[in-house]
Amino acid sequence: METTTGGGPRDRRAGLGRYGEELAVRYLRERGMEVVERNWRCEHGEVDVVALDAGCLVVCEVKTRSGTGFGEPVEAVTVAKALRLRRLAAAYVRERGGHEGPLRIDVVGVLCRPGSPAEVRHVVGVGS
């Protein structure tokens, strides 16, 4: 049975997700991207990271896993999820306004195997 308090599985997954998101943001910044917003929400869902990459608005999904038993982290973004991210990106631009340049969807996968350094994989332009 899953719990929501006391360090149960759900708490551990949420902690792993936050850690992965922190690593992803650091990775994107180290590559010259400007992170403009995190965890943006609307009625259609949530965008993990919104960034600018040389004038291109990037909506970035972060997937963090502790193993590959269910595939690599980036493989968790299905075609349906990529389409949903495109709808969320359009909603973000409508709500925030002001961006008239290119837009792309990226996925950052973070693999945190116990006892090993985290591995970051960045897939640029998902569903383009």
Does the model's pTM come out above 0.95? Answer: no
Residue 111 is assigned to a structural domain of this protein: yes
Does 3 reside within a domain?
Answer: no
- How confident is the model over 51-78, as pLDDT tens digits? 999 999 999 999 999 998 888 999 999 9
User: What is the tally of helices (H) and strands (E) in the chain?
Assistant: 2, 5
pLDDT (0 to 100) of residue 9: 58
pLDDT number for residue 61: 96
Supply the range of the domain harboring residue 31: 9-123
Total domains present in the chain: 1
48 domain residue, yes or no: yes
Read off the CATH number of the domain in which 22 is found: 3.40.1350.10
What's the chain's length in residues?
Answer: 128
Regions of the chain short of the pLDDT cut 50: 1-4
Residue 80 lies in a domain: yes
Task: Give the full edge-to-edge strand order of the sheet including 34-42.
Answer: 34-42, 45-53, 56-65, 103-111, 119-123
* Residue among 62, 79, 56 at smallest CA distance from 27: 62
